[in-house]
Amino acid sequence: KLFIKDLWFEQVPVRIYQPKVPSASQRRGVMFFHGGGWVFGSLETHEKLCRSIARESESVVVSVGYRLAPEHKYPAAYEDCLNATIHFMKNIEHYGVDPARIIICGDSAGGNLAAAVSQTLAGRSDLPKLRAQILIYPGLQALDFNLPSYQQNRGVPLLFRERAAFYVLQYLNGDASHMQEVLEGSHIPIDITLNYRKWVSPDNIPEKFKVRGYKPHVLLDCTTEVYETVKRICEPNLCPLLAEDAIVQQLPESFILTCEYDVLRDDGLLYKKRLEDNGVQVTWYHLEDGFHGIINSFNSDWLSFSSGKRGLDNIVNFLKSL
């Protein structure tokens, strides 16, 4: 049902999925960035998911094989995703895609990259305006690893709390030696942490998400030496939750999927609030019985979860509404 081909956009490998069935009008174009903590994942690991999205929503899907950490540190992955997206936007006529219906999508670390690329393109007047962004259990901040979801789900597969911090540091500078400081929150000076409290705070998480054993965390100060090595964590291209309101206000309609049993749940909830506070329309889908990575197992040969399929169906339905 699909034409699938591998190409290069600039210097970035991509795989394009195009429905074979003829279409009377131009199709939606979906840029897809895969998850894997910026360290793993490939065009292959998300092949089934991209095929499903292309087939079920009858959209053209472009999966991006961005460079991985720690060999390629931040901002390599972000730059690859951005450059591939701009290339696609500038050559849209070759793919039968409607320039008014370009959507950016990603899961986990790919959701982080999707949010960052959407923010960068929000202010560009020389390119088509994005129609929407789809963020599937995205990781959006590295300031606070003690949010309720990090405490409640610290030992829940597939993404443990320690792993989440490890991946961010691998992406940031290929060195996880300050992981302990990051986990306890002593990697950012208190004044900077307080400055971002308006956006990154347990106070912004609805009460019903705190009932499963959440304890408020004491703020710790940090040494100059530690902060020097990790200070780029405060850049919105790495932590999109920290973007200024002026950027967030320009973002397109958004779909956010979160899972209850996922350390990254609260990143999604905090971003949902930020988007809504800034007048952006948000469709939020929460998998009460979901865990991190579940969408990729919707039709796995060895282990399949019905809620993964439910999540995917909601993503497809959102796409069809655009």
267-286 mean pLDDT: 98
Q: How far is CA 168 from CA 25, 73, 208, 213, in A?
A: 41, 10, 28, 25
Contact in structure between 274 and 284 (CB atoms under 8 Å): no
Q: What are the catalytic residues? A: 108, 262, 292
Could you give the angle at the alpha carbon of 313 between the alpha carbons of 282 and 292, nearest 5°? 75
224 occurs within a structural domain: no
301: which strand partners?
A: none
199 occurs within a structural domain: no
Q: What six digits make up the tokens of 235?
A: 């850049």
Domains held by the chain: number = 1
Model confidence at 305, in pLDDT bands (50, 70, 90)? confident
Quickly list H helices, the chain: 47-57, 76-90, 109-122, 148-152, 161-173, 179-184, 190-196, 224-230, 245-248, 265-277, 306-320
**What confidence score (pLDDT) does residue 71 get?**
98
Q: How far is CA 32 from CA 16, 88, 114, 191, in A?
A: 10, 12, 8, 36
**What confidence score (pLDDT) does residue 219 get?**
87
- Check pLDDT > 70 for residue 303: no
**What confidence score (pLDDT) does residue 295 get?**
94
150 occurs within a structural domain: no
303 occurs within a structural domain: yes
Domain of 70: which CATH number?
3.40.50.1820
110 occurs within a structural domain: yes
Domain that holds residue 284: 2-141+237-321
Residue type, 58: E
65 occurs within a structural domain: yes
10-23 mean pLDDT: 96
173-202 mean pLDDT: 96
Could you report the per-residue pLDDT of 131-178, keeping only the tens digit for each? Answer: 999 999 999 999 999 999 999 999 999 999 999 999 999 999 999 999
Could you report the per-residue pLDDT of 210-246, keeping only the tens digit for each? Answer: 999 899 999 899 999 999 999 999 999 999 999 999 9
115 occurs within a structural domain: yes
Model confidence at 62, in pLDDT bands (50, 70, 90)? very high
202 occurs within a structural domain: no
Instruction: Please report where in the chains the tokens 């998850």 appear, as a residue.
Output: 35
- Percent pLDDT > 70 in the chain is 98
Q: What does the DSSP 8-state code read for residue 123?
A: T
Residue type, 154: R
Q: Residue 244 CB: number of other CB atoms within 10 A?
A: 9
- Check pLDDT > 70 for residue 301: no
Q: What six digits make up the tokens of 137?
A: 């259990």
Judging by DSSP bridges, how do beta strands 2-9 and 253-261 pair with one another? unpaired
Strand order, beta sheet including 2-9: 2-9, 12-19, 60-64, 27-33, 97-107, 132-136, 253-261, 282-291
